[in-house]
Chains A and B, each alone.
Chain A
Amino acid sequence: MVIKKKQKSLPHKKYKPKLAVFKFASCDGCQLSLLDCEDELLAVTGEIEIAHFLEASRRVLDGPYDLSLVEGSITTPHDAKRIRDVRKISRTLVTIGACATAGGIQALRNFKDVKEFVSLVYARPQYISTLATSTPIVEHVPVDFELRGCPINKSQLVETISAFLQGRKPQTPTSSVCMECKRRGTVCVMVAQQMACMGPVTQDGCGAICPAYNRGCYGCFGPKETTNTESLAKWFLEMGMKKEEVMRTFRGFNGYAPEFRQESERQEMG
């Protein structure tokens, strides 16, 4: 009799994978993308247990976590250690955004002297603990998937979480912003208006919004695969841009991504 009762009171409970969100040096924008999924949020939490997401909840469940989303770059000795701890308790680790994937805008320090930066910004530099560089997560620990963008696109985030739940690879395009402009029917701002546009060397994912709003792409999704940055730089120079301007154009939110970094250094050298 007792056994029967026990069986009744234990219905099959679906295991909900544990999701964790971790923040390093960043602006909070990429993790906000998850809360910006207003229509999907309650449905997502039906499938996934939000186990560690300090911006949204003070409930913290212990690891290991099935899926960890990591925002931000590594800029302090403390964070360089913390990311290794995060990796240890994460079955799958996905970086979200340009900071975690390429070092972010704060990686502009990598081209300069950080000591000068500290003394310029802070009245009491002795309180500041910082590394000389801002580096992407992949320079510290193995990463399972990188989601691009400054900020990430929330549809791509939902796709990535769904793909993880179904055990498949996320379907995110690796083509250039140019392809999306053609699909949208946006007239090329570089051909028609001689605007500097990073579209040809930048990975799509934003939906090619900048040219649709009458400005050149500024590369916030980082380099597409097999880019020809040298050719685009040549075009920029032929349009009348100075070398220094071309250098700056490549040295933005993804300026430390290898392809963009090499091109900006090429322009800087001469």
Chain B
Amino acid sequence: MKSKTIKVNHLARVEGEGALDIKIQGKKLKDVKLRIYEPPRFFEAFLRGRDFREVPDITARICGICPIAYELGASYAMEDICGIKVEGQLRALRRLIYNGEWIESHVLHVYMLHAPDFLGYQDAILMAKDYPEVVKRGLRMKKIGNEVLALLGGREIHPVNLCIGGFYQVPAKQKLRTLLDNLKWGRDAALETVTWVAQFPYEDLNVDYEFVAMRHPDEYAVIEGRLVSNKGMDIPIRGI
């Protein structure tokens, strides 16, 4: 039987670094190896001895694409230790800035990292030659996510305004209002995005996976929830 090996030494358009080796024999897949070759940075080790208030800014540097995840995760951990709970409007503002990150990071993912594969382009810039309006819509959505991050956090990447207990400074209502028109446009653009993505050709593939996600009884689980799976796993994330 004929065998074939596909080696991708550097995976492109992914958040991070990795390589992929695929072995095929005849028409059967024999082996797949995903190699993550990001160098270790040892956050767990050098955090020892730091003041607890410094931790969110430091853990943010784990990833520049999703720093809020790490800033909030570290803040929750420290708040659990201190026995404080951030609720009400501060919680709502935390949810808002995290949503800004979701918009920015997920639009990046859908439009600039994944869509070119489905539509047969090497990147979003080349895709823009044939789909200028689509790419422009994506860039505008991404920018709106970044505007939420910058307004609440001071800047888009590694925002400086989050701390244990909430924020160093809460934004003025008037400033928050300036986001409204763009966010309303963004909601329509998000619906158009769903319609657009739904037309992508997907392989008819059924694999017996265990899907894991966060779940919250009252809201879309973004900042809090339990870790659940389609096979019955259900564990608390905090306060174990």
> Which bracket fits the contact residues of B?
35 or more
Find residues 119-172 in chain A having any chain B CB closer than 8 Å to their own CB. 120-122, 128, 130, 134, 150-151, 154
Residue in B16, B42, B126, B161 whose CB lies within 8 Å of A59: B126
Q: Which residues of the partner chain A approach B161 to less than 8 Å between Cβ atoms?
A: 213, 215
Residue in A27, A36, A214, A248 whose CB lies within 8 Å of B168: A214
In the bound complex, CA of A76 to CA of B157 (Å): 26
> Which bracket fits the contact residues of A?
35 or more
Asked if B94 is an interface residue, CB under 8 A from chain A, the answer is no
What are 15 A-B pairs with beta-carbon distances under 8 A? A29-B64, A32-B157, A35-B112, A36-B142, A39-B143, A59-B126, A75-B40, A75-B41, A116-B45, A150-B61, A151-B155, A151-B157, A151-B158, A206-B155, A248-B51
Shortest beta-carbon distance from A246 to chain B in Å: 12
Shortest beta-carbon distance from B17 to chain A in Å: 7
In the bound complex, CA of A41 to CA of B61 (Å): 24
Contact status B46-A109, CB under 8 Å:
yes
In the bound complex, CA of A19 to CA of B142 (Å): 23
In the bound complex, CA of A204 to CA of B189 (Å): 37
Q: Which residues of the partner chain B approach A79 to less than 8 Å between Cβ atoms?
A: 39
Residues of B within 8 A of A (CB): 10-17, 38-46, 49-51, 54, 57-58, 61-65, 67, 108, 112, 122-126, 128, 135-136, 139-140, 142-143, 146, 154-158, 160-161, 163, 168-169
Contact status A213-B46, CB under 8 Å:
no
In the bound complex, CA of A109 to CA of B160 (Å): 24
Contact status B157-A33, CB under 8 Å:
yes
Find residues 195-237 in chain A having any chain B CB closer than 8 Å to their own CB. 206, 209-210, 212-215, 218, 220
Shortest beta-carbon distance from A99 to chain B in Å: 9
Task: Pick the interface stretch among A4-12, A48-56, A83-91.
Answer: A48-56
Greatest chain B CB density within 10 A among A25, A128, A151, A252 is at A151
Q: Please list the 6 inter-chain residue pairs (A to B) with the smallest Cβ-Cβ separation, ordered nearest first.
A: A29-B64, A57-B123, A58-B12, A59-B122, A117-B45, A108-B46
Q: Count of A-B contacts with CB under 8 A?
A: 157
Residues of A within 8 A of B (CB): 23-30, 32-33, 35-36, 38-39, 41-42, 45, 50, 54-60, 75-76, 79, 104-106, 108-109, 112, 114, 116-118, 120-122, 128, 130, 134, 150-151, 154, 206, 209-210, 212-215, 218, 220, 245, 248, 252-253
Per DSSP, chain B at the interface is loop
A27-B62, A121-B42 given as contacts; is B143 within 8 A of A56 (CB)? Answer: no
Shortest beta-carbon distance from B31 to chain A in Å: 19
